[in-house]
Amino acid sequence: MKEIIDIIKLDEIGRIEENVPLKKYTTYKTGGNARCVVYPNNSRNLVKLIGLLKENKISFKILGNGSNLLFSDKNYDGVLIRLSEFNDIKFLARNKIRAGAGVSLIKLSLLTAKKGLTGLEFASGIPGTVGGAVYMNAGAYKSDMGYIVQRVKVLTPDLKIISLENKEMDFHYRSSFLQKNKGYICLEVLLKLNKGKKELIEEVINERRKRRLETQPLEYPSAGSVFRNPEGNFAGKLIEDAGLKGKKYGGAMISDKHANFIINYENATSSDIKYLIDLAHDTVLEKYNIDLKIEQEFVNWE
């Protein structure tokens, strides 16, 4: 690995950090250390980096804001790639916006509100990046990225840059083409919003922020909703009805404010959190025969 890190530095592929605690990069604030985190400074260097890692059979992972990930407590001995430098935002004609994969979704939502553009209000409380939101088809309040994405520029597994139209992205509830086709990486997104009244848009955002503060445990590290809502039901209600609301294990807890949140309330480990995720899933399955789908991704647990 040292030789590869030296090449990355020599070729000026981007900023590099070594032996970094993963709690710095995940909203759960847990995990072991990452051997190496690289911030490529453009698409060309991203291609060069991934080609180098593949050629040397070194594992790697694209990392956004870490808001939907649970790394294990073990050290990650591969390369984490952050696209923070892919952060351009351009407001185009006909209410279109081009945004890089590394742009904060919350920041973009607030910027579009100031411009009097409606359609991204649902994202004002989602602490991810644009790239991660497209990958997950992130959504809330009966809307999601699939409603506003026109085109996505991606890097393919064979390191070619292509564009995928909305229909090709196969957006469904918390799902997209990128999830089902591993190795494709979102680089940039073209969004289409609608003209609205700035005051009304900001009013909706503020009202929803207030509601989130009242109903979600935002004062603690978490990764948002742990499970997808099953059709016609709510994961949080099922977990609460199963008697698990407020359940603690180690430093983790199934939130007593919203049972579909697991919080790091007192120096939890990733193993503490995973225990409660598994407990909630298995208990709901046993009591109600409902197989809750986990929204979060487990990394480095093998």
pLDDT at 10: 84
pLDDT at 257: 96
Q: Which of 148, 175, 201 is the last residue of a domain?
A: 201
pLDDT at 251: 98
Whether 251 and 266 have beta carbons less than 8 Å apart is answered as yes
* 60 within some domain: yes
Q: Which residue has the tokens 């949080």?
A: 236
- 261 assigned to some structural domain: yes
Token pair recorded at residue 214 = 């009242």
Last residue of a domain, one of 150, 170, 201: 201
Q: Is residue 239 part of a domain?
A: yes
Local confidence pLDDT in tens for the 302 residues of the chain = 888 888 888 889 999 999 999 999 999 999 999 999 999 999 999 999 999 999 999 999 999 888 889 999 999 999 999 999 999 999 999 999 999 999 999 999 999 999 999 999 999 999 899 999 999 999 988 899 999 999 999 999 999 999 999 999 999 998 999 999 989 999 999 999 999 999 999 999 999 999 999 999 999 999 999 999 999 999 999 999 999 999 999 999 999 999 999 999 999 999 999 999 999 999 999 999 999 999 999 999 98
Q: Which residue range is the domain that position 181 belongs to? A: 89-201
User: Do 196 and 221 fall into the same domain?
Assistant: no
Has residue 142 been placed in a domain? yes
Q: What CATH number corresponds to the domain at position 295?
A: 3.90.78.10
Name the domain count of the chain.
Answer: 3
The position carrying tokens 């046993």 is 286
**What is the model's pLDDT at position 302?**
82
Please provide residue 297's backbone torsions phi and psi, each rounded to the nearest 5 degrees: -105, 130
Active site residues: 174, 225, 295
How many CB atoms sit inside 10 A of residue 160's CB?
9
**E strands, the chain, in order:** 14-21, 33-40, 60-63, 69-71, 76-82, 89-91, 96-100, 117-118, 139-140, 143-144, 149-155, 161-165, 185-192, 194-195, 248-249, 252-254, 262-264, 297-299
Same domain, residue pair 12 and 109 = no
- pTM of the full structure: 0.91
Do 146 and 244 have their domain in common?
no
Local structure of 232: helix, strand or coil: coil
